[in-house]
Amino acid sequence: MKPSVPIPPSEITPYHLYLSRREFLKAAGIVSAGALLAAACGVQPSSESGSVATPVAPSVSAQTDELGDPLNTYEEITTYNNYYEFTTDKQRVARLAENFKTSPWEVEVGGLVHKPQTFGLEDLLKKFPSEERIYRMRCVEAWSMVIPWQGFPLASLLEAVEPTSEAKYVRFEAVYDPDAMPGQKSKFYPWPYTEGLRLDEAMHDLTIMATGLYGAPLLPQSGAPLRLVVPWKYGFKSIKGVVKIELTKFPPETLWNTVAPQEYGFYANVNPQVDHPRWSQATERRIGEAHRRPTLMFNGYEAEVASLYEGMDLRRNF
């Protein structure tokens, strides 16, 4: 993965300014709801009904995570993205993904399960009520954000298909659509993007399938309409645009582990003591902050997840 490109502070609208601009525009009555979101994201809707997702007022239950750190702004979260299917340039993903079609959408859930099933997105939303989770996201490139997701525990979905006793791992596959995703024309990456978890990691309550953020449906750049979020692991595990989930007996191959196994392990737990071969993981840059901050073991979720790795050598199983 390339080193991250710093965002000049001038490019980021603080949340309060974003809100006041939005309130001003609303009071002035001069723009549609679609245009408001587009203004927030720095993208233009293609029509009044818009190809961008219908916006709602950003709605969250808290302004900080449980450690007291402020949420990143909607604008930061939706304009600085890693989504290699579109481009490796974080600040161009939103625009390139703007017209990506995320409906209709189906997810096939199968492999070592008693009740394989293909779910339409609406079925998923109906069957698994969404809840808010405010999580830190720590990219392996050493930048981070605090994001208020909406989603449901992956465990509920896996329970619905009833894994067999042979199932030990979960494989995730992202959408493959090179006509709509220009980055997939690159022969360097083994598309589609794939990821994997051990079954107990996948069943952990912190692991969610996200469908929204800040109270609005996910935009394409964030992995709409459905992405994985595993907050104690480096961000690359949180695969976007999921179309297939498969229970397996053996650890599945993953895109990053295939491309550079010496750099990206299967576990990819956030660990400030185990450096990336090309840079330190001891500190990180929170998007919107000037100074680096220490990286926390398991990204600050040690109390919840350390027991999953008891007795394992975390240097070897990185």
Q: Which stretch binds ligand MTE (CB under 6 A): 4-12, 59-67, 82-90, 125-133?
A: 82-90
Cβ-proximal residues to 282 (8 Å cutoff; 6+ apart), any chain: 272, 273, 275, 294, 295
The minimum distance between CB 174 and ligand MTE, in angstroms, equals: 4
Q: Are 225 and 130 in contact (CB under 8 A)?
A: no
Residue 241 is a binding residue for ligand MTE (CB under 6 A): yes
* Residue ranges in 109-138 that form contacts with ligand MTE under rule CB under 6 A: 137
Residue 238 is a binding residue for ligand MTE (CB under 6 A): yes
Closest by Cα among 150, 190, 156, 148 to 173: 190
Q: How far is CA 258 from the centre of its chain?
A: 20
- The count of residues interacting with ligand MTE (CB under 6 A) is 16
Q: Going along the chain, which residue ranges are E strands?
A: 106-111, 117-120, 131-138, 143-153, 169-174, 194-198, 208-213, 216-217, 227-229, 242-248, 283-286, 292-294
Q: What is the sign, positive or negative, of the torsion defined by CA atoms of 97, 100, 106, 110? A: negative
**For ligand MTE, which residue of 174, 216, 226, 245 counts as binding (CB under 6 A)?**
174
CB closer to ligand MTE, 41 vs 137: 137
Q: Which stretch binds ligand MTE (CB under 6 A): 81-89, 148-156, 243-251, 274-282?
A: 81-89
Q: Which stretch binds ligand MTE (CB under 6 A): 13-21, 67-75, 83-91, 102-110?
A: 83-91
The minimum distance between CB 137 and ligand MTE, in angstroms, equals: 6
Residue 83 is a binding residue for ligand MTE (CB under 6 A): yes
Residue ranges in contact with ligand MTE by CB under 6 A: 81-85, 137, 139, 174, 193, 222, 235-236, 238-241
